[in-house]
Amino acid sequence: MNIKTTLSITEARKQIFKIIEATQRPGNYYTLTEKGKPKAVVMSAEEFESWRETLEVMHNFPDLERDIKRVDRDVKSGVYKKYATLEEVMAKHGFILADRSKVKYEISSKNRSASDKRFRKNS
């Protein structure tokens, strides 16, 4: 434990606003102790969420490092070209895909500025 960031719960009560402010900087956290034994850790909500997301990814993809290495090899060798497309995977799982060839995307003239030449039609 880092003595600088380890405090008794009693001392933490006295310094709670200072502790909260200090934990807003990345990597800063405090270990709170009771009778010299660690009881809790205080960190920013943002850092806590980051830890939770990391743990979730590690849980969902336990072999992520191995998988990344395999994909890197497949990209270098060209094997990735045989991978299923997103559309194929979605169709396999029962998703119905729209026929994108019939869909036209257009920016409404209400949203265009008169001087914006990027969105003008070439007549």
Q: 68 in a domain, yes or no? A: yes
What is the CATH number for 8?
Answer: 3.40.1620.10
Q: Are 21 and 27 in contact (CB under 8 A)?
A: no
Domain that holds residue 72: 64-98
Task: Tell me if the pTM is above 0.75.
Answer: no
Extended strands (E) in the chain: 6-8, 29-34, 37-43
* pLDDT exceeds cutoff 60 at 21: yes
On whether both 12 and 42 belong to a single domain, the answer is: yes
Give residue-wise pLDDT tens across range 40-61: 999 999 999 999 999 999 999 9
Please, which pLDDT band fits residue 87 given cuts at 50, 70 and 90?
confident
Say how far apart CA 48 and CA 44 lie, in whole Å. 6
Q: Nearest Cα to 30, choosing from 47, 53, 55, 5?
A: 5
Total domain count, the chain: 2
Region 49-78 average pLDDT: 95
